[in-house]
């Protein structure tokens, strides 16, 4: 699981050796006679050559870096799956570190060296790409998928190997009895489909459910789901063909999940602002946020995507969050949080610690903002 990897990487102590952090957009680009060429590979090669020059002609750092480059080249040549649109790699041969994350969505290009891994984009992937169960349904058929790290995978079933259920033929019944029989079948099917969905949610530890279907099937399934799963569920009326291809379904689902995540991020930022206004379980500004993280108070680290903090500070906040089991929420376009410095935290508990030094980087809400 990526969240477990995030914590493991965050817990690595700084080392006196080069630690490579690589994030790539690996979508293919049509470039002349080389339509499969990936821009990310070209950028990576340029950056690696540039970084190598900084180590001088010899030494253990250069040896470790070159060993990492060789391993990265082997992975990209022999193991990288063409279906992945993004890849992240963390490497340090001197310490035996080599981790790869493949994603169905692109990363922003980044190739950097430091004493610890740069974890912001990995944390953002975990935030933006929560595991979701997706159901394409009508009154007698359901196709189930799991969306994780940008990849959409169809599930063939938990026990029987199929999530396709078909109503039986009915004959010798008058219209009224036939209609009752059909309605009973639809209700029974909805209960069976709901049970399958709930099993899949539990097995995959999904935090979202998206159900796409017609206006007859969705209410029946809604009534059959437990309140626990309903709280995770978004229902999308659609005439999407149940026989649609994987790519068509992904094109339909990806924007729905992106909008849901954006709305969730704005809601969490609103919650943070309300907590700061009420002097409750929320702090904003770099100084108070860092202190809360250092003392294990923070439950959710909230960052705007354009927070005015340097990359090292941002990475340190993410590292502190991961090592204290705090979630990381990256929010787009939240004016008030930006005004507060672009960073804050929802707290598990409130406790004031003395501030050491001068400027904390904290901002209070101005009267007109309250």
pLDDT tens-digit readout, 6-50: 999 999 999 999 999 999 999 886 444 454 567 888 899 999 999
pLDDT at residue 269 is higher than 50: yes
Architecture in CATH of 2-128 = 2-Layer Sandwich (3.30)
Ranges of CATH 3.30.420.60 domains, the chain: 132-244
In this prediction, residue 241 carries a pLDDT of 86
Instruction: Report the pLDDT averaged over residues 84-108.
Output: 95
Tens of pLDDT, residue by residue over 145-188, are: 999 989 999 986 433 334 444 444 545 556 677 677 677 888 88
In this prediction, residue 156 carries a pLDDT of 66
Ranges of CATH 3.30.1330.30 domains, the chain: 262-369
In this prediction, residue 36 carries a pLDDT of 54
Structure confidence at residue 240 as a pLDDT band (50, 70, 90): confident
CATH code, 132-244: 3.30.420.60
Instruction: Report the pLDDT averaged over residues 297-309.
Output: 93
In this prediction, residue 8 carries a pLDDT of 95
Contacts of 300 (CB under 8 A, 6+ apart): 268, 272, 326, 327, 328, 329, 345, 346
Ranges of CATH 3.30.960.10 domains, the chain: 2-128
- pTM equals 0.81
**What class does CATH assign to 262-369?**
alpha beta
């Amino acid at each position: 699981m990526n969240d477990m990897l995030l914590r493991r990487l965050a817990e690595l102590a700084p080392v006196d050796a080069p630690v490579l952090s690589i994030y790539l957009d690996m979508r293919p680009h049509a470039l002349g006679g080389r339509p499969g060429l990936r821009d990310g590979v070209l950028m990576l090669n340029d950056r690696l050559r540039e970084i190598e020059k900084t180590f001088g002609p010899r030494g253990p750092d250069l040896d470790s870096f070159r060993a990492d480059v060789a391993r990265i080249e082997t992975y990209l040549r022999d193991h990288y799956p063409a279906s992945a649109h993004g890849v992240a790699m963390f490497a340090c041969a001197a310490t035996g570190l080599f981790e790869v994350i493949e994603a169905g969505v692109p990363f922003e290009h980044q190739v950097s060296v430091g004493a610890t891994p740069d974890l912001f984009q990995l944390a953002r992937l975990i935030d933006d790409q929560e595991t979701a169960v997706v159901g394409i349904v009508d009154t007698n058929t359901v196709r189930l998928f799991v969306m994780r790290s940008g990849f959409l995978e169809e599930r063939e079933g938990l026990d029987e190997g199929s999530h396709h259920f078909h109503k039986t033929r009915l004959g010798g019944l008058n219209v009224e009895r036939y209609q009752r029989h059909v309605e009973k079948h639809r209700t029974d099917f909805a209960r069976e489909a709901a049970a399958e969905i709930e099993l899949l949610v539990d097995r995959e530890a999904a935090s979202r459910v998206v159900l796409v279907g017609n206006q007859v099937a969705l209410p029946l399934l809604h009534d059959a789901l437990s309140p626990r799963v309903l709280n995770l569920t978004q229902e999308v009326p659609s005439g999407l063909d149940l026989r649609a291809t994987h790519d068509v379904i992904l094109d339909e689902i990806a924007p729905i999940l992106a909008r849901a995540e954006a709305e969730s991020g704005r809601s969490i930022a609103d919650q943070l602002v309300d907590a700061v206004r009420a002097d409750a379980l929320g702090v904003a500004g770099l100084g108070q946020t860092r202190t809360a993280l250092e003392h294990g108070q923070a439950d959710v680290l909230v960052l705007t995507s354009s927070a005015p903090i340097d990359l090292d500070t941002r990475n340190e906040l993410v590292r502190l969050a991961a090592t204290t089991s705090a979630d990381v929420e990256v929010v787009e376009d939240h004016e008030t949080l930006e005004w507060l410095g672009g960073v804050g935290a929802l707290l598990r508990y409130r406790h004031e610690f003395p501030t050491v030094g001068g400027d904390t980087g904290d901002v209070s809400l101005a009267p007109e903002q309250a």
